[in-house]
Chains A and B, each alone.
Chain A
């Protein structure tokens, strides 16, 4: 049973994949936007940080679910 729970926690931690793809796309677009319009640096950085914070949340939810599974709740 413990082994199965470990596998379940590992599957829950796969949410990191989506967050990684999302943050990668956001970073690429932000770099593109800064190179197109260097004077809008501040605004772009603000939106970029907001975006990666929201994209990262999915990975964090995966981590929380993995912890919950592993502590048998």
Chain B
């Protein structure tokens, strides 16, 4: 077993070296090509496009951090890499923006509210009322979580309308601000958090006996469907958010390519970025609340 494993490791090592050689070859070829093109002095635009595409590929894949780890199968220390992609950077940026914004808004609260305090109170009241009307009289522990999700998703889905492209700082190419929810991993993580919250609150408010009893609730034949719901609920939540945001993103890219000079993108951005993004953030929160209500009633 261990012999096989080591041979596999050697194989992968050989493969990786060959891959490196191939990469070096392609880079050399690319350099030769560029030299030729520069000699001819033609096809400047296509060269530029090619170069930017190459730069994107290189820098997006090269943001890796090596973390020391232990390989359990082969019993030796082996570093593994964590890859940071575009959506993680956008999420960090948004998180910093939201934290600074909330600190600035909630800093000076007084007895007689000013404009800023009124704004903050309106948001909190709205979220509390939504939770109250959806979840019922046990709304209080759930409202902050859903408020956080709602605000975060609202920022995530609408960040694409700013249209900030990639920019260079000190040789690094930083990704532009595109909605991080168009990467399927963020909606999947949020949906998993929601279903864990549903299961946890069901166990807490109903107890284990009540939970098992609720599987047989209207008729005992419902048992497989009730169990399947634990899988289907997060799947549909995740796919709904991802599909909507990704579809809107692709549509906006196509519209931008086709009709950039006609000033059409801002008009369509009103629907695809603002309306659809905010609606999807609301629907995600709304359905999560509905599942919670179903679980704890």
Contacts and interface: CB of A to CB of B under 8 A. Distances in A.
Nearest to B290: A50
B243 A49 contact: no
Contacts, number: 33
Interface in B271-297: 282-283, 286-287, 290
A49 B283 contact: yes
A61 B283 contact: no
B240 interface: yes
B247 interface: yes
A72 B244 CA distance: 21
A57 B239 contact: yes
Contacts of A64: 239, 242-243
A56 B286 CA distance: 15
A60 interface: yes
Contact of B282 (A49, A56, A57): A49
Contact of A53 (B240, B242, B246): B240
Contacts of A56: 240, 244
B16 interface: no
A64 B236 CA distance: 11
Contacts of A53: 240, 283, 286-287
A63 interface: yes
A62 B197 CA distance: 29
Contact of B236 (A46, A50, A57, A59): A57
Contact of B240 (A46, A50, A57, A67): A57
Interface string B225-245: 000000000001001101110
Contact of A63 (B133, B247, B282, B290): B247
Interface in B25-43: none
B243 A50 contact: no
A60 B283 contact: no
A41 B243 CA distance: 29
B247 A50 contact: no
B288 to A, nearest CB: 12
A60 B239 CA distance: 7
Interface in B185-203: none
Interface in B158-213: none
Contacts of B243: 59-61, 63-64
21 contacts: A42-B133, A46-B133, A46-B286, A49-B282, A49-B283, A49-B286, A50-B286, A53-B240, A53-B283, A53-B287, A57-B236, A57-B240, A59-B243, A60-B243, A60-B244, A60-B247, A61-B239, A63-B243, A64-B239, A64-B242, A64-B243
Interface of A: 42, 46, 49-50, 53, 56-57, 59-61, 63-64, 67
Interface of B: 133, 236, 239-240, 242-244, 246-247, 282-283, 286-287, 290
Given A57-B236, A60-B243, 15 more contacts: A42-B133, A46-B286, A49-B286, A50-B286, A50-B287, A50-B290, A53-B240, A56-B240, A56-B244, A59-B243, A60-B239, A60-B240, A60-B247, A61-B239, A64-B242
